[in-house]
Amino acid sequence: MIPGHVAIIMDGNGRWAKKKSLPRIFGHKQGVKTIKEIVKAANDIGVKVLSLYAFSTENWKRPQSEIKSLFSLIRQFIRKELRELNDLGVKLRILGDLSKFPENVKFEIKDACIITSQNTKFELNIALNYGARQEIIRAFEIMTKQGIKKLTEEVVSSFLYTCGQPDPDLLIRTSGELRVSNFLLWQIAYSEIYVTDKLWPDFTKDDLKIAIVAFQKRRRRFGGL
Known catalytic residues are: 11, 59
Answer positive or negative: Cα dihedral of 3, 89, 96, 162. negative
Work out whether 15 is an interface residue with ligand FPP (CB under 6 A): yes
> Minimum distance between the CB of residue 152 and ligand FPP, rounded to whole angstroms?
33
User: Which region, judged by CB under 6 A, interacts with ligand FPP, from 26-34, 151-159, 188-196, 216-224?
Assistant: 26-34
Q: Which of 6, 7, 28, 192 binds ligand FPP (CB under 6 A)?
A: 28
DSSP-derived 3-state class of residue 20: coil
Q: Are 191 and 167 in contact (CB under 8 A)?
A: yes
Work out whether 127 is an interface residue with ligand FPP (CB under 6 A): no
Task: Tell me phi and psi for residue 32, to 5 degrees.
Answer: -65, -40
The pattern of x and - marking residues 152 through 191 that bind ligand FPP according to CB under 6 A reads ----------------------------------------
Q: Are 194 and 3 in contact (CB under 8 A)?
A: no
Work out whether 47 is an interface residue with ligand FPP (CB under 6 A): no
Q: Are 53 and 9 in contact (CB under 8 A)?
A: yes
> Minimum distance between the CB of residue 129 and ligand FPP, rounded to whole angstroms?
12
Q: Are 215 and 46 in contact (CB under 8 A)?
A: no
Distance CA 169, CA 156 (A): 19
The pattern of x and - marking residues 54 through 73 that bind ligand FPP according to CB under 6 A reads x----x----------x--x
Distance CA 158, CA 139 (A): 9
Q: Which of 94, 126, 171, 212 binds ligand FPP (CB under 6 A)?
A: 126
> Minimum distance between the CB of residue 216 and ligand FPP, rounded to whole angstroms?
27
Work out whether 50 is an interface residue with ligand FPP (CB under 6 A): no
